[in-house]
Amino acid sequence: TPIQRQTSKQRFVSEFSRCLFDFVIQLLPTTEELTIKEDVRKLLERLIRTIEPESRLLSFGSTANGFSLRNSDMDLCCLIDSEERLSASDLVTMLGDLLERETKFHVKPLPHARIPIVKLSLEPSPGLPYGIACDIGFENRLALENTRLLMCYAMIDPPRVRTMVLFLKVWCKRRKINSPYKGTLSSYGYVLLVIFFLVHVKNPPVLPNLQQMPALRPISPEETHLNGHNIWFFDDIRLLRQRWQSSNTESVAELLVDFFRYYSRDFNYNNGVVSIRAGLLKKDGKGWQSDSDRGTARERNRLCIEDPFEVDFNVSRCVTRDGLYTVRGELMRASRILASRPERAIVALAQLCE
């Protein structure tokens, strides 16, 4: 009967929510890991200052935005506060030499990459069973700002937002659809898909749109713009939590079921652009047609996710036709598993991340 169906659904989602929390908690980095990473950051900062005394080394990406899994990579960004400074590629070369001499890291400088970086890694050891992998870039201030934006979204409703994002990060890694180099989507892309869903798809929304909230005081364009991009967003999360409350009461399991349904069935991949800043946009409006109908091999805009600040930048431009096909296949698979509501929620979770 419909009532029996309803209660079996409720039983499933409440058990599945509990499973998700338990699962995600085990995957968080330990305090020991966080301490080691912070020590590494300080050590590297001290070394870089022997080359550029006015520099600071800051964390961005998952180690800084609240969406970090155990043993995740470190993303570091070097900011230099002086006027005359070395070019990024010279710095990468010099820093590479210095780190090679002074540390035990494996060092790989990439001075001629589109974005010059130094790649570092440390072999696993008893205290660090997975070693460390770390990228150091330069002057990537927009990445620091988008990290702060994601961190604010994570802080508004950690039980639902962080659980969902962390679960999806595990899921996409286990299902092998998290490799921009191989034509699938970056972690950053997946996080934007989740935030878009919680801000713009869910009704009532689970999250407010931080980029469209009124500012508390007048703000000058110098304060809000960085390299010509508007980077303003409402970042006083303590105040926000006092003043704004979502009227959406769905559990994390219900949201996840709906997330998979939305991106496997409802989202229009041919024309839609995911924008956490402006809601659902159209490819033609952004000049982001995928060109497939003109017989060219250009793959750039198969999947379109607008960067929150660099609005001409498609975060998912590396996603190829085959990559998108695989990702959508995985979204459908997940949706199917959840719709079948296995007897035990833990079984669903294991199947999802097989």
User: Which of ligand CTP, Mg ion, none does 260 bind, CB closer than 5 to 8 A by kind?
Assistant: none
- Which of 75, 145, 157, 307 contacts Mg ion by CB under 5 A? 75
Tell whether residue 143 is a contact of ligand CTP (CB under 6 A): yes
User: Which of ligand CTP, Mg ion, none does 188 bind, CB closer than 5 to 8 A by kind?
Assistant: ligand CTP
Q: Pick from 15, 119, 105, 125: which is nearest to 75 by CA?
A: 119
The span from the CA of 329 to the CA of 126, in Å, is: 39
The span from the CA of 147 to the CA of 149, in Å, is: 5
Give yes or no for a contact between 200 and 192, defined as CB atoms under 8 angstroms apart.
no
Amino acid identity of residue 95, one-letter, is L
Within 199-238, the residues that bind ligand CTP by CB under 6 A are none
User: Which of ligand CTP, Mg ion, none does 60 bind, CB closer than 5 to 8 A by kind?
Assistant: ligand CTP
Q: By CB under 5 A, which span of 58-66, 119-127, 172-180, 310-318 interacts with Mg ion?
A: 58-66
Q: What are the strands of the beta sheet with 132-138, ordered from one edge?
A: 55-60, 74-80, 132-138, 117-122, 106-110
Burial code (b: 16+ CB inside 10 Å, e: under 16) for 213-248 equals: beeeeeeeeeeeebeebebbbbeebeebeeeeebeb
- Which of 15, 45, 73, 291 contacts Mg ion by CB under 5 A? 73
Question: Quick one: tokens of 188?
Answer: 């950053």
The span from the CA of 258 to the CA of 19, in Å, is: 17
Question: Quick one: tokens of 225?
Answer: 């713009």
Give yes or no for a contact between 305 and 193, defined as CB atoms under 8 angstroms apart.
yes
User: Which of ligand CTP, Mg ion, none does 17 bind, CB closer than 5 to 8 A by kind?
Assistant: none
The span from the CA of 144 to the CA of 65, in Å, is: 10
Q: By CB under 6 A, which span of 5-13, 72-80, 208-216, 261-269 interacts with ligand CTP?
A: 72-80
Give yes or no for a contact between 101 and 78, defined as CB atoms under 8 angstroms apart.
no
Q: How far is the CB of 29 from ligand CTP (least distance, A)?
A: 10
Q: By CB under 5 A, which span of 49-57, 73-81, 199-207, 211-219 interacts with Mg ion?
A: 73-81
Q: By CB under 6 A, which span of 11-19, 114-122, 142-150, 330-338 interacts with ligand CTP?
A: 142-150
- Which of 72, 93, 275, 301 contacts ligand CTP by CB under 6 A? 72
> Please, which residues bridge with residue 56 across strands?
79
- CB of 181 or CB of 296, closer to Mg ion: 181
Q: How far is the CB of 146 from Mg ion (least distance, A)?
A: 12
User: Which of Mg ion, ligand CTP, none does 147 bind, CB closer than 5 to 8 A by kind?
Assistant: ligand CTP
Tell me the per-residue interface mask from 33 to 62 with ligand CTP, x by CB under 6 A, - otherwise. Answer: ---------------------------xxx
Summarize as ranges the residues that interact with Mg ion (CB under 5 A): 61-62, 73, 75
Summarize as ranges the residues that interact with ligand CTP (CB under 6 A): 60-62, 65, 67-69, 72-73, 75, 143, 146-147, 186-188, 315
